[in-house]
Amino acid sequence: MPKKDAQKDASKDGKKKGDARKPSFGKADLDHFRHLLLARRRRILGTVQGMEEEALKASDQDFSVDHMADHGSDNFEQDFTLALVESERRELFEIDRALVRIEQGTYGVCEGTGEPIPRPRLEAIPWARYSVEYQRKLEAGEVEEEEEPADASEEEEEEEGRRRDDEDEEDADEAE
């Protein structure tokens, strides 16, 4: 099925992608989801930092055992840890994007159809960008995910991450 036809089928009432409806979340709901996202972000940052330190520590160790199987196991473990770190970094990126959507007033709207994402999905995956139905179409290859906008530079993303880290520290201080 061509991309445009699938997108029309995925939307209701002839609504085209990008014509986002406003979600029906109030301030309390958005604060709840922001809290979920920031809490998950803090957990990931702690996990990623620990995994990176462990992987780097393992690579700096002097191998006193000369058995090749030991070297292979150590290399596999390091590669596996680094793959997990990359996965966690991708999730951090998605969480940061969800926090931006909250600020922009588009949180909870499927980026594929413009329809509201059901609350149970957002409770399970607060950084979700798509409804379950649209996500299935993406995974089945019936529609294609749009490329990331070129205007978001790495420097801007790093600055946004630093700002969020500062917010996390302030939230942690308030909680104590």
Q: Quote the DSSP letter at residue 12.
A: S
Domain assignment present for 106: yes
Domain assignment present for 163: yes
Whole-model pTM: value is 0.61
Q: How far is CA 170 from the centre of its chain?
A: 22
Q: Quote the DSSP letter at residue 22.
A: P
Q: How many domains does the chain have?
A: 1
Quote the pLDDT of residue 9: 45
Angle, alpha carbons 20-8-30 (nearest 5°): 25
Quote the pLDDT of residue 56: 63
Q: Which residues contact 151 (CB under 8 A, 6 or more apart)?
A: none
Quote the pLDDT of residue 15: 43
Quote the pLDDT of residue 7: 45
Q: Which residues contact 33 (CB under 8 A, 6 or more apart)?
A: 25, 98, 102, 107, 108, 122, 126
134: containing domain: 3-171
Quote the pLDDT of residue 85: 77
CATH number at residue 68: 1.20.120.910
Quote the pLDDT of residue 40: 93
How would you write the pLDDT of the chain (176 residues) with one tens digit per residue?
444 444 444 444 444 444 455 667 899 999 999 999 999 999 988 876 666 666 666 555 555 556 666 666 667 777 777 777 788 889 999 999 999 999 999 999 999 999 999 999 999 999 999 999 999 999 999 998 876 554 444 455 555 566 666 666 666 566 55
Domain assignment present for 176: no
Quote the pLDDT of residue 94: 96
Report the C-alpha gap between 116 and 113 in whole angstroms. 9
Domain assignment present for 139: yes
Domain assignment present for 65: yes
Domain assignment present for 102: yes
Quote the pLDDT of residue 153: 43
127 near 97, Cβ under 8 Å?
yes
